[in-house]
């Protein structure tokens, strides 16, 4: 019996050894390592590391629904308007031995009807730029502006916080809050298609662009806020003027604009409170005042042009200046109010018909309730007045009231 038991145990042990040896020869499949998304706190809330890289990414966006009422002048004017706007943006940042490498892209799509005018846009590249150390290349906010100013205006006041432009810029950091930027930017034009000269009977005809706008600024940022002084040089070129003796081609002229902008933080009043001011002068570069092709309110409308032909066929420039300011105050952590206004004056030279010079002022206020983070429910009232300088029916002033309701969610 003992012999049988010994034979059985030996057989089992031998079989186990053989099976184990064959199993060791079989290929093995290891479980793939799981890489969890890591939070990146270096650049603020919402960033995470792209798996397998040291690049931090933030995905964001916005949906805005806005409703506008504007006082109509004529029966066929739209008094109400609807706007829907969607935004998607990506912000990728990587620390390098040369400084921060940042890539930012923002797409916006808008559908307007009624008092906004009818339009429908596809995915518009609102911003798309690369930053590497001091270099900025792509589409970004103009360096003519103080980037810390957030006016939170639903409508329009005359200062230059609106445009994003294509640019190539370099920022020099001097320490202690001081920096300077030199930027080559796409030309910013006020309207150039209105006839201001009765002698020639022709409008200013823009020739091909030969140089970008050259923008330079000096900025100081501190705990109290920030201040910027900036200047821009803008080229004005004309094609030959048919009908003027020998198809005269005026000499190239250069317009310019200079500005001072300051933003004050006012935490002593309430956390988040701020006060801002801007003052700008422009000669031949009225787009830097915040104008496009015209200024209008009620039944009054006036063309805004960078340049026009004088009686001698030479290029003459439009000139203007503006001042603007605003105050943001938090009544509670969820309820804030903005009060804002602007005053602008545009002048043309001798020989221009009476009434083309004008002044414009705008003033308004809004109240915004943010019941939860990222959600804004706001209402705004804005008054505008355009006053041509001259006499007669063609020079009558006009004013208008408008109201807006905005529902906005940022994420």
Instruction: Classify burial at 207, counting beta carbons within 10 Å of its beta carbon; exposed 0-12, middle 13-18, buried 19 or more.
Output: middle
Report the number of secondary-structure helices (H) and strands (E) in the chain.
Answer: 1, 22
Domains in the chain: boundaries = 58-128
- pLDDT at residue 203, rounded to an integer: 61
According to DSSP, the residues that pair with 233 across neighbouring strands are: 214, 256
- pLDDT at residue 28, rounded to an integer: 55
DSSP characters over 311-367: TTS-EEE-EEEEEEEEEEEESSSSEEEEEEEEEEEEE--TTSPTT--EEEEEEEEEE
Cα(24)–Cα(355) distance, integer angstroms: 97
Please, which residues have CB within 8 angstroms of residue 168's CB and are 6 or more apart in sequence? 136, 137, 183, 184
- pLDDT at residue 208, rounded to an integer: 82
CA 178 to chain CA centroid, Å, is 23
Please, which residues have CB within 8 angstroms of residue 134's CB and are 6 or more apart in sequence? 99, 170, 171, 172, 173
Q: Along the 411 residues of the chain, how does pLDDT read in single tens digits?
A: 444 445 444 544 454 444 454 444 555 566 556 667 899 999 999 999 999 899 999 999 999 999 999 999 888 899 999 999 999 999 999 999 999 999 999 999 999 999 998 887 778 999 999 999 999 999 999 999 999 999 999 999 998 766 799 999 999 999 999 999 999 999 877 765 445 554 444 567 778 889 999 999 999 999 999 999 999 999 998 877 666 555 667 788 999 999 999 999 999 999 999 999 999 999 999 999 999 888 989 888 888 888 888 777 788 889 999 999 999 999 999 999 999 999 999 998 866 767 789 999 999 999 999 999 999 999 999 999 999 876 554 567 899 999 999 999 999
Half-sphere exposure at residue 179, Cβ-oriented, CA atoms within 13 angstroms = 18
- pLDDT at residue 244, rounded to an integer: 59
Please, which residues have CB within 8 angstroms of residue 269's CB and are 6 or more apart in sequence? 329
């Amino acid at each position: 019996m003992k012999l049988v038991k010994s034979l059985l145990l030996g057989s089992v042990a031998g079989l186990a050894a053989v099976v184990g040896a064959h199993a060791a020869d079989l290929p093995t499949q290891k479980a793939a390592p799981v890489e969890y998304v890591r939070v990146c706190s270096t650049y603020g809330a919402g960033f995470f590391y792209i798996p397998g890289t040291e690049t931090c990414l933030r995905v964001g966006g916005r949906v805005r629904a806005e409703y506008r009422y504007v006082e109509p002048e004529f029966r066929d004017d739209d008094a109400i308007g609807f706007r829907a706007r969607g935004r998607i943006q990506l912000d990728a940042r990587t620390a390098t031995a040369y400084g921060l490498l940042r890539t930012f892209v923002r797409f916006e799509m808008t559908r307007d009807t009624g008092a906004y005018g009818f339009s429908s846009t596809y995915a518009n590249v609102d911003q798309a730029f690369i930053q590497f150390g001091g270099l900025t290349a792509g589409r970004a906010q103009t360096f003519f502006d103080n980037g810390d100013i957030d006016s939170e205006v639903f409508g329009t006041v005359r200062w230059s916080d609106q445009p994003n432009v294509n640019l190539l810029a370099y920022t020099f950091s001097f320490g202690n809050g001081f920096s300077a930027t030199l930027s080559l930017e796409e030309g910013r034009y006020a309207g150039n298609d209105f006839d201001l000269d009765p002698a020639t009977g022709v409008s200013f005809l823009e020739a091909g662009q030969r140089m970008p706008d050259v923008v330079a600024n000096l900025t100081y940022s501190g705990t109290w806020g920030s201040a910027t002084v900036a200047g821009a040089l803008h080229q004005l070129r004309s094609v030959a003027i048919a009908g003027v003796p020998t198809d005269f081609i005026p000499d190239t002229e250069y317009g310019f604009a200079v500005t001072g902008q300051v933003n004050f933080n006012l935490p002593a009043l309430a956390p988040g409170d701020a006060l801002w001011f801007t003052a700008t002068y422009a000669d031949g570069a009225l787009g830097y005042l915040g104008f496009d092709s015209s200024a209008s309110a009620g039944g009054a409308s006036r063309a805004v042009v960078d340049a026009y032909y004088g009686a001698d066929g030479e290029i003459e420039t439009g000139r203007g200046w503006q001042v603007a300011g605003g105050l943001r105050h938090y009544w509670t952590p969820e309820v804030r109010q903005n009060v804002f206004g602007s005053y602008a004056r545009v002048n043309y030279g001798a020989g221009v018909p009476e009434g083309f010079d004008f002044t414009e002022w705008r003033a308004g206020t809004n109240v915004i309730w943010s019941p939860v983070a990222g959600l804004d429910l706001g209402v705004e009232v804005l008054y505008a007045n355009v006053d041509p300088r001259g006499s007669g029916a063609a020079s009558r002033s006009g004013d208008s009231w408008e109201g807006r309701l905005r529902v906005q969610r940022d994420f």
